[in-house]
Amino acid sequence: MEHYSRWLPTREATAYLGVSSQFLKKNRDIKNGFLIEEKHYIFGANINSSILWNVSEILKEFHYRGRLIRESQKIINDLKAEERK
């Protein structure tokens, strides 16, 4: 995994991350999402500037959230298996 920050404009970040621009934008903390301003994204100098995305940190967050989902599903499946016994 990369150990440095890599900031990309929205178009490049979406291609790099394999998600849509809508997904990134709706998951910002200002929209009650999990992407944090100045850690995962920064605004440009003016209103027309592209948002820059820290794709290295976003990938870490995607991995963390994916792992949580899988661990949660395993717990649920284990509990269901216990109920059937």
Amino acid at 3: H
Amino acid at 61: E
Q: So what's the pLDDT on residue 3?
A: 62
Cut 0.85: pTM above it: no
Give residue limits of the domains in the chain: 7-84
Distance between first and last Cα of the chain: 42
With respect to CATH, is domain 7-84 assigned 1.10.1660?
A: yes
Q: What is the pLDDT of residues 47-77, one digit of tens each?
A: 999 999 999 999 999 999 999 999 999 999 9
Q: Which long-range contacts (CB under 8 A, 24 or more apart) does 27-35 make?
A: 34/61, 34/65, 35/61
Residue 57 three-state SS: helix
Cα–Cα distance for residue pair 85/73, rounded to 1 Å: 19
